[in-house]
Amino acid sequence: MKTLGIFRHAKSDWTDARLRDFDRPLNTRGRAGAGLMGKHIREHAVGWKRILASPAVRVTQTIELAGEAAGETPPITWDRRIYLASSATLIDVLREQDSDPRTILLVGHNPGLEDLIFDLVPDDGSSPLRDVVEDKFPTAAYAVIELDIENWADLRDGTGRLVHLVRPRDLDPSLGPSLTD
């Protein structure tokens, strides 16, 4: 069995219209959310062996702040293909993982991350948390999927169970949606 974590970047700043999407940093709420989620990820204690991440600024800042709050950061592989990737591309990236670590934390963007959850977790009622993701997989959300596979190369649609899902607002209501979102 393998375990896949999915961590969406925290809330980004849209105030500077001159910045490319790739270069957008986190806003104040995003910085707070990233730190809070880092603590939660540590307390959830999966023991991530590898992080696969988009190199976009908002993702690198999310990982940095979450790692500081957690007191550790596993080895990171930055992969430009993860930036705004589709679920199919994310599955390809995961299938390529060598040395088959038992656990991988994937950090990136929607809609690809949300679609990945829908592709890996069957819509058969076996994962009630899937319904929450159908409503929204917001910024800084963290999900854990247990996969019925022995090797990452064997990753296929429908092989997962969504066993954990936390959003920043679940830990601190002030980090939930506001009227300006």
Where do the domains of the chain lie? 2-144+162-175
pLDDT at res. 20: 95
- Distance (Å, rounded) from C-alpha 28 to C-alpha 116? 28
Query: DSSP assignment, residue 102?
Result: S
* 10-residue stretch averages of pLDDT, the chain, 181 residues long: 97 93 96 96 92 98 96 94 98 92 97 98 90 93 96 96 95 73 47
pTM, 2 dp: 0.94
Token pair 């599955």: residue: 91
Distances (CA, A) of 9 to 37, 96, 135, 137: 10, 23, 18, 11
pLDDT at res. 170: 92
Distances (CA, A) of 136 to 117, 118, 139: 12, 12, 9
pLDDT at res. 181: 47
pLDDT at res. 58: 98
pLDDT at res. 178: 62
pLDDT at res. 175: 81
Supply the CATH classification number for the domain 2-144+162-175: 3.40.50.1240
